[in-house]
Structures are given as structure tokens and as C-alpha cells.
């Protein structure tokens, strides 16, 4: 049976089309099989494609399924924000005014519109130290000296990233990663490697971020929500901004200009968000 379903392609972490990270949003996935969803995600060939479905939890406004070209993910940041933007634009009214509640593979996620931005509260993280041998191997895969890695943790926010603090933003921008080596060093269940470094004083952004996930069919993610969530977790833990809110920059190495805003709430939670803009809107024939 041929179906025609509403569709948007949303650019996330930018207010300017084609400068952020696109996510394909299928706004009615209720009659699509998992196999069909994976086929569509492989076809769009974006870092993530999402499918909005009827929720099974009565507290949720919708259920979101998230696919890379290769796999389904329990959670990802920029697809969550972009999908919330798309469902709001499509006319969905939340059950509770001022917030959307998304059912996902990690449970319920709350998304709060703030003017023309969207913010999520990051889920509780699980953190595992990365041993020195693995850090040395990762340094070689990234093309830097081991001394350029200041700290490293594997952080699980639903999406799992090996997260590395590098010497500074200049080192981050100069990386020439070996994707075959990164693939070999990425364990099953881990999305990939996210790196960050501090910018110079007076810069618009506090950190430069890059995310590499060749195992997921995404050699370099333009602007990564979950990767930035892992960075924010390390920034808080290492007190790199002394608890003050900040903006991170990502994507310049591949022609993007993404901006990710991070806020530290008084209750200890971390909020992550930014702007979004719809670049494509219409019907998808499935």
C-alpha cells in the first residue's frame, strides 16, 4: 500500500538555512514498519531521520523513533530538538502548555520552547574513564600527540560518546582524523568520538566541538546535540566555565556554522538547545 505522509527537513542549531545540522522528520510514522523506517533513513542519508508516532505513555505528546543511516538510536539531541520544532510547526498542541513531552528509547524527554529556540533537559549521564592506552590510540586516530588530550570520558546520555577535551580550539579545528582507525577504536554500543577545546578569550563561543561517528555512517556530524551534551557534562564536571552558561560552535570544518547554547539550571540539571528552521516541507511518498 502506498502512503503519503507529511514531511519536514529541519536545520537545527541555526536560524539561517543550510548552516546547521539537518534532520528529516516524518510526521506520521504510525503505519511504517521498522524496516521501512530504516530504509527511509538510509535513503535520506542524513545523520538522523525521525518518525513521529502515537505515544504509548499517556504523559507523552508523541513518540519519536530516531534512525541513523545504519541503526536506530534510543536518543539523540539535534533530532529531538528538530522534531519538536517540526511538530509545533505542524500544529500539534502539547498536553501541558509551554512544553512538549517526547517518548523515546530512554524514556520521557521534555522539550521547552523559549522564543524561537528549543531546549531539552539532558538525561542523567553514566560516565566511564578512558584508560591511557586507549587515549593514546585515539590521539593517533585523530592525528594529534597524546599530550594534546587533557581529559577523556565515555559518557552515556542514551547516545554514547567517547568525549575528549583537547588543548584548545585550534587543535580541534586542525584535526585530520583517520576514519578507519576511529571505526576500529569505537566499541559496539558507542556512537563515536566527540572532541572539544576552549576558544580564545573574547570569542563568541566558549568551545569548538567536532563529532566523528563513522560506524553510524556519519564520518563527521555537522552539529551534534548528544555530543554537545557529553561536552556539557564534562564542562560542568571539570568546572571549565565555573557554572556559567555558554555557547559552543560546531561545523565550520565542513561548511556549517552551528551554535549550541548550554544552560546550567539551579537544580543541577543541564539544558541544551538552540534555533531551528524548516528548509523542506511537503509530502513523502512511502
Map residue 110 onto helix, strand or coil: strand
Radius of gyration of the chain (CA): 18
Contacts of 117 by beta carbon, 8 Å cutoff, 6+ apart: 261, 273, 274, 275, 276
Annotate 125-161 with b (16+ C-beta within 10 A) or e (fewer).
beeeebeeeebebbbebbebeeebbeebbbbbbbbbb
In degrees and rounded to multiples of 5, residue 130 shows phi and psi of -100, 125
Burial group, residue 217, by CB count within 10 angstroms (0-12, 13-18, 19+): middle
d(CA 267, CA 260): 21
**DSSP symbol at 93:** P
Which sign does the torsion angle of CA 164, 64, 51, 116 carry? negative
The residue from 35, 48, 201, 261 that is catalytic is 48
What is the sign, positive or negative, of the torsion defined by CA atoms of 35, 37, 40, 46?
negative
Q: With beta carbons less than 8 A apart as the criterion, state whether 4 and 283 touch.
A: yes
Q: Would you call 48 a catalytic residue per the annotation?
A: yes
Query: Which amino acids are annotated catalytic?
Result: 48
Amino acid at each position: 500500500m502506498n502512503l503519503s505522509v507529511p514531511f519536514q527537513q529541519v536545520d537545527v542549531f541555526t536560524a539561517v538555512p543550510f548552516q546547521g545540522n539537518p534532520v528529516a522528520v516524518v510526521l506520521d510514522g504510525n503505519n511504517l514498519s521498522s524496516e521501512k523506517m530504516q530504509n527511509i533513513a538510509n535513503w535520506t542519508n542524513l545523520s538522523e531521520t525521525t518518525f513521529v508516532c502515537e505515544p504509548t505513555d499517556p504523559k507523552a505528546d508523541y513518540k519519536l523513533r530516531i534512525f541513523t543511516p545504519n541503526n536506530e538510536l534510543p536518543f539523540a539531541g539535534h533530532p529531538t530538538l528538530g522534531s519538536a520544532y517540526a511538530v509545533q510547526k505542524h500544529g500539534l498542541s502539547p498536553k501541558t502548555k509551554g512544553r512538549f513531552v517526547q517518548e523515546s528509547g530512554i524514556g520521557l524527554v521534555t522539550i521547552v520552547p523559549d522564543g524561537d529556540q528549543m531546549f531539552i533537559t539532558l538525561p542523567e549521564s553514566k560516565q566511564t574513564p578512558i584508560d591511557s592506552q586507549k587515549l593514546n590510540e585515539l590521539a593517533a586516530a585523530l592525528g594529534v600527540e597524546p599530550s594534546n588530550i587533557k581529559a577523556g570520558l565515555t559518557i552515556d546520555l542514551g547516545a554514547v560518546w567517547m568525549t575528549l577535551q583537547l588543548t584548545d580550539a585550534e587543535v580541534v579545528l586542525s584535526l585530520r582524523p583517520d576514519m578507519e582507525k576511529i571505526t576500529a577504536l569505537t566499541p559496539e554500543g558507542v556512537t563515536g568520538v566527540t572532541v572539544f577545546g576552549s576558544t580564545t578569550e573574547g570569542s563568541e563561543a566558549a568551545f569548538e566541538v567536532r563529532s566523528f561517528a563513522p560506524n553510524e555512517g556519519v564520518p563527521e556530524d555537522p552539529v551534534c546535540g548528544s555530543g554537545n551534551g557529553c561536552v556539557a557534562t564534562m564542562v560542568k564536571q571539570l568546572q571549565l566555565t565555573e557554572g556559567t552558561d555558554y555557547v559552543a560552535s560546531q561545523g565550520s570544518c565542513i561548511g556549517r556554522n552551528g551554535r549550541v547554547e548550554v544552560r546550567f539550571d539551579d537544580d543541577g540539571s543541564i539544558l541544551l538547545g538552540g534555533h531551528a528552521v524548516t528548509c523542506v516541507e511537503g509530502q513523502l511518498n512511502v
